[in-house]
Structure 1
Amino acid sequence: MTGKSKTLYWKSMITLGVTILLLSPGMFPQTIAAQETRVRCMSLEQLNKIIETQNAVIVDLRTPGEFRQRRIPHAVNIPVELLRSDRFVLDVYNDRTLLLYCRTINKTKLAL
């Protein structure tokens, strides 16, 4: 990611006011649903390091309409409703760190 795209990326994230949940590789909703899960606060620098060093995937849990209006660059849209009906939709990312986000914590909790 270039310096300019990093700046745009973080401006997008801040503008969205998103809630992000970090899932390590292999730690998918079906495996952590029974565990107590906490949303971890981190600095933009920490988040950027995770994206760069862990080949992270940014997953937008909002509706396709919300995603079209405004999104974090390079994010993939997998609506929480799809995750709830098809728990295997994230299997394609099984070896990657996932950063799940939505506008509020509610959809992120539903994804788990």
Structure 2
Amino acid sequence: MRLKAFTFLAVLIALVVAGCTTVYPDTDGVARMSLEQLHGRLGESDLVIIDARTPGEWRRAEVKIPGAVREDPRQISWADRYDKNDTLVLYCA
């Protein structure tokens, strides 16, 4: 349990430093999720967290969200692998 709390805290700090905790209004019909909303949904079976960093950024990253799937942001062919009813959360920080 302590490791989970530490991991969550590390991700939270990384997101704050990167400025990703700001809630933005819908842009072009794409909803945004706050860190608090994401934290409340972690573990749900219909939630897919996608790390959209480039391969090099991902390899160099010290903090990664546990359970996130890394997908190449330059291609969208991976989108068909996910159920249309799932909530996809993309992050890049």
Tell me the TM-score normalized by structure 2. Answer: 0.64
Q: Which runs of 5+ in 1 are unaligned?
A: 21-34, 104-112
Counterpart of 2:82?
93
Question: Comparing both chains, which one has the higher relative contact order based on Cα–Cα distances under 8 Å and sequence gaps of 6 or more?
Answer: 1
- 2:13 matches 1:4: no
Deviations 1:28-83 (A, max 9, x none): xxxxxxx433423341xx32331223442210111111112222222111121022
- 2:29 matches 1:36: yes
Q: Percent identity?
A: 28
Q: Which runs of 5+ in 2 are unaligned?
A: 22-27
State the secondary structure of the residue aligned to 1:99: strand
Q: Which has the higher helix share?
A: 1
* CA RMSD of superposed structures (Å): 2.7
Give the whole-Å Cα distance in 2 for the aligned partners of 1:10 and 1:49.
12
Counterpart of 2:24?
none
Give the whole-Å Cα distance in 1 for the aligned partners of 2:4 and 2:47.
15
Counterpart of 1:102?
92
Moved over 6 A (4+): none
Tell me the TM-score normalized by structure 1. Answer: 0.55
Count of equivalent residues: 82
State the secondary structure of the residue aligned to 1:81: coil
